[in-house]
Structure 1
């Protein structure tokens, strides 16, 4: 952090500001920064492309750097008025300069050092408030990482939910680990509420981790830009705050559907297909039916093409993404799935069972009958692909009409994993993870639940075992004493083919 300037230095800075050249440089610098902000806003809203904005942003960056250098040449001078040297120290990989008080000031880059010098002499143009740094960090993340608009939207939503006005306006450089810990504890306790039955509800662990993600984005960027020397989160312990969170794993009834509930959903979709409103072509309903069978993500359904349907599997390797812009959203095709994080890696394959094949054949026949031509499986009558948001809304309304508490597409993925891949097929976690497109850890921690009918299943297993035992006893009272019977273990591939 830069040392506070003393009264004599402050007077010097004020006097220097009276010089026409310095004031002119500052005015030009502010104009350039305003132009940068406008261009970045246009990029966020999609009113200008990266290809068009990049040359302009590069030119503005060069002009800004030159103006900073001119300003520092005017104020960072020796007693005889010559500019002080700015040099690179190779053994530390840092830029440095000698200050008037004989100490050295360092920066990771020359421009970062220039910014520190401008602050030292009272010429700083940067805003170090947490809210400002957060916006800068998101803009940097958007430009340098393969993040979708929804990720940025959720980060902003979490920032608005958990960061109060006082912390928003706090200088990022003055925030310590103790300050954050104290704030976090108070915030989590303030967020608790008591229902009519007197039960205290705490912030969910996932929501707390969303808050922590916001802090990580802010302080990692501040560290990158050399605004801070030490990340206050480096000694921040999650375990301490988990005590103030609801860390209980959700019940099966809060996450997945039973087989009977899934049958009821299918029947409801089928009944709506023949409504006058849909005229036999309830395309979002057909997407729901495929989601139940395959566990595809909501964004993967709209981007599914007929060319992705192979002889014995579905090739799931894309998703529909969107960018927020003025007047709505812009939807686009991405040739990678969520877990591939912006790098196409071939996607995954899901077995083409008879039920899935029959469903796809039905959709194809309907489109042919109605004269619909489109490369996408789920499209409107004009051939345009369906939108993820419209699908999610349709699904939520349908499930609410059935009085279900679970109303999201994600539940189909977890239901398929728990009811079929795990309970019926007994597939190992690695195979389940491969079919659904995520890690083994994710499958075990977030996707595997006891089926809603597990007690009935256990009763049947016990009864079945008792019957087998009785049969053995009938054959010979002593025949089983020295015999161990091993059941035949079937392969994962055979189990999949039998189940589908």
Structure 2
């Protein structure tokens, strides 16, 4: 028998051609391609399938010495009017077929028995491929599906033959998972989405007779999900935590392990001061630094090409949704200007020539994945619960801009989102608001009069601004 890896590769190639055939039929039913076009393409696919099949059979159907086993053609005779093809199998039995093509199909079935991979992981990959070629999904959607599969589906479950997985197995797995992880409802629905993707595909392609996921109701598992709303302290970093990040980055710049040109560290320092998104941070160019402001109008995105992640420069920010409106501007403060001058001096000293501000020593722009990994590990090393760049955006809004009395309209414009988004998702009381409020109240305590004196400075600590305040700020 031929090499198992070769057999699997041949089988996968045949499955790919089957998917192409199904896709052609869909195109025909939608009127995208005419009958003649379908017929020609189907003939081509059939020829490819036959060539793949014959290659596997001829490589596998050999004697112990590696010689090809003979295939006999029995033509009709007066004593035996039957016309057929036959060959002897490795176990000594003979198999027959009316046509040569029919015999090759029987041999193919024989040599692939037990080889076909019906594991949940393989079905997931097939389902994802079909989704990619038929549903025009975004690259990020496919990437999220892959991440979700690895996160929610254990290796043990992924290796199971999907034909042997019933609703009881899935229910037990689901119950153990929710009781162990207590996921957020959003995570639970992502998990269900992966199950639906896998088992819907298997059912549609007649791999399984029924879909066991349909038997899994959400209500029993919601009891074990974490339904609590995230508290502000779960979303933002305190001013003290921000200072810890700054100090750690500056400390690392003094160590040989990281070096003084610690570009991901510089990127984090810049993000702390500006609240830029990760993609915007990576795409920022020196030409975007104006006399009094920073022009934020592009982002770094990525797509999958031939199984590899490829990064590209997109001329829109996230909130512009593919239609450039020339981005937004953020004020160029003295602190930000000095930070940029420091980066430029380091690049000049190292002979780095790049249009991008945040670039590696070879001049290539930093990548989102690398920066996010750096920031997550740094925050985790300090024991922080929030470890993402988004927390820096929200912390700037809640810890700096909001207490300064900057209007919600201006805050939204600086961060690049709507007023409603800023109010609903970005404007929280500072993490240490209780201590600050107590100090303010204590400072007004007049021990002689027993009354409050005029406050020296009032800082608003409301979690959400009132509609009246919002309206007044818009005029």
Q: 3-state SS of the aligned residue for 1:300?
A: helix
Equivalent in the alignment of 2:296? 315
Equivalent in the alignment of 1:135? 125
- The within-5 A match list for 1:19-168 is 33-34=14-15, 36=17, 62-63=41-42, 134-143=124-133, 144-148=136-140, 150-158=143-151, 160-161=153-154, 164=157
Aligned-partner Cα distance in 2 for 1:224–1:438: 41
Aligned-partner Cα distance in 1 for 2:305–2:281: 20
Give the C-alpha shift of residue 289 in structure 1: 0.3
User: Is 1:453 equivalent to 2:432 in the alignment?
Assistant: yes
Aligned-partner Cα distance in 2 for 1:224–1:425: 58
- Asked if the contact 1:319–1:337 (Cα under 8 Å) also holds between the matched residues in 2, the reply is no
Equivalent in the alignment of 1:189? 175
Aligned-partner Cα distance in 1 for 2:196–2:410: 33
Equivalent in the alignment of 1:382? 362
The 3 A distance-change label for structure 1 pair 399 and 347 is farther
Give the C-alpha shift of residue 279 in structure 1: 4.7
Give the C-alpha shift of residue 37 in structure 1: 8.4
Give a deviation string over 1:449-487, Cα, whole Å, max 9, x none.
4421110222244346767974579xxxxxxxxxxxxx9
Equivalent in the alignment of 1:249? 229
Q: 3-state SS of the aligned residue for 2:190?
A: helix
- Asked if the contact 1:255–1:411 (Cα under 8 Å) also holds between the matched residues in 2, the reply is yes
Q: Tell me which moved more, 270-279 or 214-223.
A: 214-223
Q: What TM-score, normalized by structure 2, do the two folds share? A: 0.59
Q: Tell me which moved more, 301-310 or 235-244.
A: 235-244
Equivalent in the alignment of 1:414? 394
- Asked if the contact 1:418–1:448 (Cα under 8 Å) also holds between the matched residues in 2, the reply is yes
Give the C-alpha shift of residue 271 in structure 1: 2.8
The 3 A distance-change label for structure 1 pair 227 and 337 is farther
Equivalent in the alignment of 1:396? 376
- Asked if the contact 2:145–2:194 (Cα under 8 Å) also holds between the matched residues in 1, the reply is no
Aligned-partner Cα distance in 2 for 1:387–1:318: 11
User: Is 1:288 equivalent to 2:274 in the alignment?
Assistant: no
Equivalent in the alignment of 1:333? 313
Q: 3-state SS of the aligned residue for 1:293?
A: helix
- Asked if the contact 1:299–1:321 (Cα under 8 Å) also holds between the matched residues in 2, the reply is no
Give the C-alpha shift of residue 410 in structure 1: 2.9
Q: What TM-score, normalized by structure 1, do the two folds share? A: 0.56
Q: Which runs of 5+ in 1 are unaligned?
A: 1-28, 40-57, 69-125, 195-200, 474-486, 495-500
- Asked if the contact 1:188–1:245 (Cα under 8 Å) also holds between the matched residues in 2, the reply is no
Give the C-alpha shift of residue 357 in structure 1: 2.9
Aligned-partner Cα distance in 2 for 1:438–1:61: 51
Aligned-partner Cα distance in 2 for 1:282–1:493: 41
Q: Pairwise CA RMSD of aligned residues?
A: 5.1
Aligned-partner Cα distance in 2 for 1:416–1:208: 31
- Asked if the contact 2:276–2:393 (Cα under 8 Å) also holds between the matched residues in 1, the reply is yes
User: Is 1:462 equivalent to 2:441 in the alignment?
Assistant: yes
Structure possessing the higher relative contact order (Cα contacts under 8 Å, 6 or more residues apart):
1
Aligned-partner Cα distance in 2 for 1:340–1:171: 47
Q: 3-state SS of the aligned residue for 2:296?
A: strand
